[in-house]
Structures are given as structure tokens and as C-alpha cells.
Structure 1
Amino acid sequence: MRRRTFVRTAVAACSLSLLAALAPAASAGTNASAPAAAGQSHGGPSYKRVGYFTQWGVYGRDFQVQDMDTSGQAAKLTHINYAFGNVNAEGRCFTGNIPGEADAWADYARPLDAENSVDGVADTAEQPLAGNFNQLRELKAKHPGLKVMISLGGWSWSTHFSDAARTPASRKAFVSSCIDLYIKGNLPVDGARGGAGAAAGLFDGIDLDWEWPGSAGDTDTVYRPEDKRNFTALVHEFRTQLDTYAKTQKKRKHYELSAFVPTAPEKIDAGFEVHKIMRDFDFVNLQGYDFHVSGEKTTAQQSALFARNDFSVDQTVRDWQRRGAPARKLVVGMPFYGQGWTGVTGGGDGLNQPATAPAPATWAAGYEDYKALKKLADAGTYTVHRDRRGGHAWLFDGTTLWTYDDPQVLRTKSSYIRDRGLGGAMFWSLDGDTANGELMTAVDRGLSRR
């Protein structure tokens, strides 16, 4: 089961209309240019580097928490967003072993051996926390300052957000359940695993991935006109309860609150009172990809920095700023994957030409990891094309086209973040990078001016 966040695609058991969703290279050393501690910059402003780790990636993709360490990614990240936590029909955060709904086995029950463990020690049968959660705890111990956020919702799991946010009572109960489960770490008992406080201290905040308040998302996701004001109230309820809980702790800390937010102006206006919600958010992650997707009949860019009469990163930034978002709280989303088409006709470089279908790929047609696209480029069967003014790239072999971001594109976007005084960069998703973290290193160096 794949939980998508606005067509963040890979293995998918649930169907998705990509068109409906749209409505809304330098060398890289493994540990080169790593900060001394996560969150520290190299002598300049401290930019956020937020990477999504997918719960289900530990299966077919075999991307483990340990891989964020060995690739050098963890040393360069400030935040890891764990994707995802779900919301049930009663408007509560929950987990369990429910196909398509929750995977407690991956989260905290699955034992890892010494070879696949961050600290090199095998899990025991008795420890209350195992799985991804325990590995993330070990990763934080190895990289002081690294923060882990629980990301709630995503494309497929935003189904019940509108109901949960509908009344003051429902909002209070919803937020309380999420804090109890993830911030207090009171996990359901699963054999020896779980129990009161089993995951306490793991999560440093909450990321809201409601897609989308006030406008259409996945086919079963409820949305209402009143979602816009209810989202504002929900954000404030999260901020209030997180702050209240922080005051009860012996070691005071600030629990961070963020969100993934859309690029389409009509979706922004339908669901977000920008000037109000930004008071309570520490930052928001801007959708910086899927501007066009492989379900469309014509090839196009999916993540251009600049574009005339089309979606772009710059357009997204300006639209959020015009509505009251401060630049320092805007984190630019960057794709570690590409969108692809096949049956492309019309000649030329293949862009903006008719296509017959999404391109064949490893996990899902029309979606491919950067590490696989890099191999296509290196093999020489595809030609790399660039729109230097627009800040995007694509591969084309005469029949199949892939639009994607490579290190050169990401360095340009990193310069844009610095020049505009923005908050940093976000990546969907870390498992798409190369084994030595080539994309992560490109952004880290770009934000560090090196």
C-alpha cells in the first residue's frame, strides 16, 4: 500500500487520478561537507533541510533508517519527516497492523539485526521499541540536533481530516490523540512492543499533510468550504496543545509544527488563511514538484524553478508571500524522482509533445527514482536537456521522456533559496537518492555556498 502525498508516487495498491491531483552535477562524497551537528550551517544562515522517510520503503525498496546514515544524508539533514501517520473515522490518530491503514510492524515492532541497525546492535525480543522508530532514535543519538517529525495524512490518508477538524470538540480530541500517540509515545501494546511512553522523546514535532482543506484530493477524501477556517483553528489547536505539553516537561523544549502546502493558487485560496496560520507554524513545506504528471497526454516539466504561464517554484513562493507568509518560513520542496511519458511524438527535444502513456518504471508507471534516472543518463541512451533560464532538466531518447531534478538543477534552486532569504529545502523522498547521497550533498553544498 502506498500512501501518496499529492502524487508522490511509488508502489501503489490504491488507485489515483494524476490529473485530479494536479488540480490543485557535482561529485558527491558520502560525508563531504557534513555539518558538525544537524541544523548547523557552515558559517551562514541555518537553512532547514527536511527529508521524508517513507514507512513502506523498508520493504521492496529496502531503504532502511541506517541508509540515511551510511549515505551521508543524516549528517546534512535538520529534519526527518516520517511518512505517515493516519487518522481514523472517529477523528483520532491511530496505528496498528491494518492493511492499507496502518503498519505498526514497520513502525515499532519489526526487529532489526546488528548489520542493519544504526548502532550496530541487534534488537532483542524484549525491548518495547524496535522497527523504524527505534532506528530513528538511534540515528538522533548519533547526530545531535537532528529532529524527527511525524507527518500526518498524505494523499491517501487525508480521508478524515475534514471531519476531525470540524468542531472545537473534534479538534481538541484529534490533537490530543496525536500528541498522546507520537509526542508522549504511548504506543498500542503489540506483544513485547509498545506501551506507555515507549516512543517518548522520539518525535520533535508534527507535520500536517492534509491534502487538501477546502478542495479535492484523493477520491475518498472529504472536503468542505468551511475547511479553510477549520484548518486555521486546527493549526492553532496543535500549537496550543504542543506548547502546553512542553511546559509539563522537566527539560523544556519547543515542539515544532509544520505542513505540506500546495502550489495551485486556487487550492491555496480554498483552504488556507495564510496570514493567520503562519503565526502558529514554524515553517511550511511548499509543493515544488508534480506541476505536471505522467497521467497527462502531453509531456511537460514537473518542477521548474521559473516558468511563463505555468506552475513553478518561483510562482509558488511568490503566491505564498503575497498572501502573508514570511520568506523565512517557506521551505522549498524538491523531487528526488522524475515523472515520465512514453510514446512521445512530434520530434525535437520531446518536451511539450503528445505522449501515449506513462513511461515504464521500477515501482509505478510514470514515476522513477533519481538513482535509476541517473543510470539512464550515464548509459548514454538518453540525452540530457536543460532549460537553463527555467531551471529544470529532462531526459529524452526519442520515444520516452523523463522530467527530473539532478545536482545541477538543485544547486540552482539552492542559490534561489539563499538569494530570496527562504527557510530551506525539503525532499520527497530520501529513498530516491543515490547510495552516496548525491542529491542531498548538492543541496547541502548549495545552501552552504560551497
Structure 2
Amino acid sequence: MASLQQLQYSTVATTNFHMPFYHSSTSSSTTASSPSTTRSSPKHMETRFALKTPTFLMSLVFLIQASLVSSFVLLCYYLAWSEERVEGIEFYPESIDPFLCSHLVYSDASEAADMSLWKEDDSYQRFNDLKKKNKNLKTLMGYGGWAFDNSRFTDMAEQQSTRTDFINAAIDFLRSHGFDGLDLDWRFPAFEDSPASDKGLFTLLVKELREAFEQEAQKSGKDRLLLTAPVAAKEQIISSAYEIPEISKHLDLISVMTYNFHGVNDKFTGHHSPLYPGSADYKYNSIEYMLTYWRDKGAPAEKLLVGFPAFGNTYKLSTSQNDLAVPVYGGGSPGPYTGKSGFLAYHEICAFLKDASLQNIYDQMVPYAVKGNEWLGYDDQKSFKTKAQWVKDNKFGGAMLWALDLDDYDGTHCKQGVYPLTNTLKSVLGI
């Protein structure tokens, strides 16, 4: 396969790599079992390319190359704080296989709101050096995140002058450090402590970022910077936070965070990332429902990425019952490496499973496990494969993985090879 990789990333032929690879059709298939998405259909792959040379030999090389490039996206998060894990599980930019994902996001929610004040860090260069090995790889800088206070976004977005300052600083930072785009992670506009006006301000910010990126590309002669965003997968937040048709015009990719349908604050057991609605759960707590919702509200299917978790959620059971929707009283025991109650990385899950009772939620196509009084909802290679095939069958844009360091990246904990979950997505999506 090494020779195929070399051919795939040959620079002999020229393609428009500055734009994401999208499907040429945005139509949706239907079946009797579902009015809006396809649950089972023939394998489908479309490849989009532009021929730039008149010679037969060059054309032939390019045709072979194009046949090896996926029309789907696999966007993977690298968490900057993963370098600070306990000894033996540190994860660095050099730990990343540069051929694993089509897009990589460097996520660091600890920096200042003003990107011009961000301290220099050699990990930015080390991260972008991955493109020396894979010239098709796209890297993005994450801005915001779960630890980023909403008021910092509000203060930046509410005035034209502060938005312009932010946009100019973002462009300078991305260009000077070799990133290909910005991942805008506002959680969440016009929700909870974020004022209602932030809904329109988020739209305006996205619009002005895209326009500035286009203008900068025209002036510099460089490929346009990409603009992506992770978004909510709960109706209550979505209706409050987003003007979906408008933001969809300006974002290149929209990552739906379909892995927080349940959590340790719940009173009952439930899987955090089921594919389909279940008989023991609300219909809106599923990937199928939420991706259909985003699409039907105006987001093009080819821009929507399904969120895949390389982690599981654990609960302490309150009774002897141990199936779905049974009472719990908090999160399960912390993992030895992540150290957070109610949360296990996949490389920690494999140890949990060794002496556990393994079960499947057949109508939701995901597994769970029980050990003593602890309940674990998780994903494995089989559930990832099923979900990724669903992404393909329904012609969505691809997958988003949270996050690379949570997978068994060196293959020592699960004995399933390196990056077993991420490689499953790569294989099914043809990355």
C-alpha cells in the first residue's frame, strides 16, 4: 500500500485542493423504514476532479490519482492538552499519522480571546509539519471550545471594529503559522448566558470571516482559508443559536457534535451517541434524527459531518437493574489516564471490557457494558463501521472524530492495531 499512498499524493497533476471534496449531489434517498434518510443502500462513491494537462500520460496518472482520493471528509481533533496527560499516555503532534485524516484541527481552548496575543508555541510548527508527508492534508486552528467563556465571544462579536480586529488577527495567525483554516467553536450563541443578540452576531461573524478569507486569497494568490464550525446536536440549542441557512452559505464544513445525547448529569442510563432512535429513549437523541434535522433546516448534506466519539460515558447504577433507562446516581470511576468521573477514553474502555458483561442496543446500533454497579455506553469498531456506512449511504459530507488522543493511538491497550476507531472511519469512508 505504500506505493498507492505515494501515487495518491503525487504532485504531478494539479487539483483544486483548497476546497473540500464534496458530493456533486445533495439529494437524499428514502426508504420505507425512514422518510428522510437511507438505512441500507448500495455502496456509493463519487470523485470530483479537474484535468489540467492535455497529454495522455499525465491524464492517465491523474485519473489513477483521483480514483484514490475520497469524496468524503474525515476531520479529526488534536487536543493540545493531551501532551499533559499522565506519564505513559502523552500524545504529541508527532504521534499523528499524517495519512489518517483528511483534515486536522489543533484545539486549544486555553488561549486569550485576542489571537494576536497568543504565545508562540513550537507545537504549531510541528503540527503543520505533518503536511510535509501528506501534501493533501488540511490543518485548521481551533478557536473557542468548551472551556472558552461565552462572554469572550460576545465581546468580540458585538461591534464591527472588534470583529474586524479579530478577523485580521486570525488571518495573520493562520498564515504566519501555516494553517489552512479556522475552526470556530462557539458553545453556544444565544444560549444560557449568551444574549439573544448573539444568534445574529454569530451569523454576521461567519459571513465576515468568509468574505475576508476570500478577499485575502485574491490579494495573496494563495488558496482560500477554510472556515469550519462544530455545532450543537440538541434542538433546544440549535433553534436558539443558529440561523442555519445563512451560516451554511459561509461555512465549508459543519461538524454536528452527535456524541452528547446523554451524560453523567442524567438520572438514567442512556447511550451518548446512538445511530437510530431507540424504544427506551427519545427520538431526538440519535444521529439519524439530528443530521436529518440540520439538513431539513437548510444545511447542505455534503457540508454536514457526523460526530464520532473515541470515548464512552459511565454511570453508577442505583439498583440491581442494568439495562437502558435505569436509575443512576452519578458518573462511574475515573479512568487511569483521563482521570474524569463518568468518562473513559477508548484506550481505557478496552480494559473495562475485559471482565464486563457486553450488551448491544440493537435498535440504536451501539453497545454498552456492565461491570459491578457501573454502566458504560461506548463505541467500538463495529458501531463505527455501521455509522460510517450510514454517512455514506445518506450522502453526508463525512465524519468528525473527537479526539485522536482518546483512540488507542499506539495500539498497546486494545490489541486492535494503531488507531482502531479512526482507522475504521478511514477505511469505510475511503480516506
TM-score range, shorter chain: 0.7 to 0.9
Q: Which runs of 5+ in 1 are unaligned?
A: 1-29, 97-103, 109-129, 186-198, 217-221
Partner-residue secondary structure (3-state), 1:134: helix
In structure 1, the residue matched to 2:203 is 232
Listed one character per residue, the Cα deviations across residues 114-141 of structure 1 (whole Å, up to 9, x for unaligned) are: xxxxxxxxxxxxxxxx2x1121122110
In structure 2, the residue matched to 1:141 is 132
Q: 1:398: Cα distance to partner?
A: 3.7
Partner-residue secondary structure (3-state), 1:144: coil
Partner-residue secondary structure (3-state), 2:400: strand
Find the aligned partners of 1:227 and 1:315 in 2 and give their Cα distance.
Answer: 26
Cα gap change, 1:145 to 1:52, in 2 (>3 Å): same
Find the aligned partners of 2:167 and 2:377 in 1 and give their Cα distance.
Answer: 39
Equivalent of 1:368, from 329, 339, 344? 344
In structure 2, the residue matched to 1:92 is 114
Q: Which runs of 5+ in 2 are unaligned?
A: 10-16, 22-64, 411-417
Q: 1:410: Cα distance to partner?
A: 0.4
Equivalent of 1:205, from 181, 193, 199? 181
Contact kept? 1:331, 1:424, Cα under 8 Å: yes
In structure 2, the residue matched to 1:151 is 142
In structure 2, the residue matched to 1:313 is 287
Equivalent of 1:78, from 72, 90, 102? 102
Query: What pairs up with 1:1-400 in 2 under 5 angstroms?
Result: 36-37=8-9, 43=68, 45-60=70-85, 61-69=89-97, 74-84=98-108, 88=112, 92-96=114-118, 104=119, 108=121, 130=122, 132-159=123-150, 160-180=152-172, 182-185=173-176, 199=177, 202-216=178-192, 222-250=193-221, 252-308=222-278, 309-310=282-283, 311-347=285-321, 349-362=322-335, 363-377=339-353, 379=354, 381-400=355-374
Cα gap change, 1:42 to 1:368, in 2 (>3 Å): farther
Find the aligned partners of 2:246 and 2:208 in 1 and give their Cα distance.
Answer: 13
Contact kept? 2:107, 2:143, Cα under 8 Å: yes
Q: 1:406: Cα distance to partner?
A: 0.7
Q: 1:158: Cα distance to partner?
A: 3.9
Give the AA of the match of 1:296. Answer: D
Give the AA of the match of 1:163. Answer: D
Cα gap change, 1:270 to 1:33, in 2 (>3 Å): farther
Partner-residue secondary structure (3-state), 2:328: coil
Find the aligned partners of 1:85 and 1:392 in 2 and give their Cα distance.
Answer: 30
Contact kept? 1:335, 1:428, Cα under 8 Å: yes
Partner-residue secondary structure (3-state), 1:230: helix
Contact kept? 1:152, 1:206, Cα under 8 Å: yes
Find the aligned partners of 1:33 and 1:161 in 2 and give their Cα distance.
Answer: 44
Cα gap change, 1:41 to 1:398, in 2 (>3 Å): farther
Find the aligned partners of 1:335 and 1:243 in 2 and give their Cα distance.
Answer: 33
Find the aligned partners of 2:428 and 2:255 in 1 and give their Cα distance.
Answer: 18
Contact kept? 1:284, 1:330, Cα under 8 Å: yes
Partner-residue secondary structure (3-state), 2:108: strand
In structure 1, the residue matched to 2:37 is none
Q: 1:32: Cα distance to partner?
A: 12
Contact kept? 2:110, 2:147, Cα under 8 Å: no
Partner-residue secondary structure (3-state), 2:302: helix
Cα gap change, 1:259 to 1:419, in 2 (>3 Å): same
Find the aligned partners of 1:48 and 1:171 in 2 and give their Cα distance.
Answer: 29
Cα gap change, 1:32 to 1:359, in 2 (>3 Å): farther
Find the aligned partners of 1:214 and 1:32 in 2 and give their Cα distance.
Answer: 50
Find the aligned partners of 1:306 and 1:47 in 2 and give their Cα distance.
Answer: 22
In structure 1, the residue matched to 2:394 is 420
Listed one character per residue, the Cα deviations across residues 287-343 of structure 1 (whole Å, up to 9, x for unaligned) are: 110110012222111000111424111111011011100100000010000111124
Contact kept? 1:228, 1:273, Cα under 8 Å: yes
Give the AA of the match of 1:148. Answer: T
How many pairs align? 358
Find the aligned partners of 2:371 and 2:116 in 1 and give their Cα distance.
Answer: 46
Q: 1:422: Cα distance to partner?
A: 0.4
Contact kept? 2:318, 2:329, Cα under 8 Å: yes
Partner-residue secondary structure (3-state), 1:208: strand
Partner-residue secondary structure (3-state), 2:141: strand
Contact kept? 1:410, 1:442, Cα under 8 Å: yes
Contact kept? 1:42, 1:448, Cα under 8 Å: no
TM-score, structure 1 normalization: 0.75
Partner-residue secondary structure (3-state), 1:304: coil
Cα gap change, 1:204 to 1:408, in 2 (>3 Å): same
Find the aligned partners of 2:69 and 2:99 in 1 and give their Cα distance.
Answer: 17
Find the aligned partners of 2:252 and 2:72 in 1 and give their Cα distance.
Answer: 13
Cα gap change, 1:420 to 1:41, in 2 (>3 Å): farther
Partner-residue secondary structure (3-state), 2:167: helix
TM-score, structure 2 normalization: 0.78
In structure 1, the residue matched to 2:379 is 405
In structure 2, the residue matched to 1:440 is 422
Q: 1:174: Cα distance to partner?
A: 1.8
After the TM superposition, which of the residue ranges 433-442 and 133-142 deviates more from structure 2?
133-142
In structure 1, the residue matched to 2:31 is none
Find the aligned partners of 2:227 and 2:251 in 1 and give their Cα distance.
Answer: 5
Contact kept? 2:77, 2:106, Cα under 8 Å: yes
Contact kept? 1:75, 1:143, Cα under 8 Å: yes
Q: 1:76: Cα distance to partner?
A: 2.2
Find the aligned partners of 2:360 and 2:4 in 1 and give their Cα distance.
Answer: 27
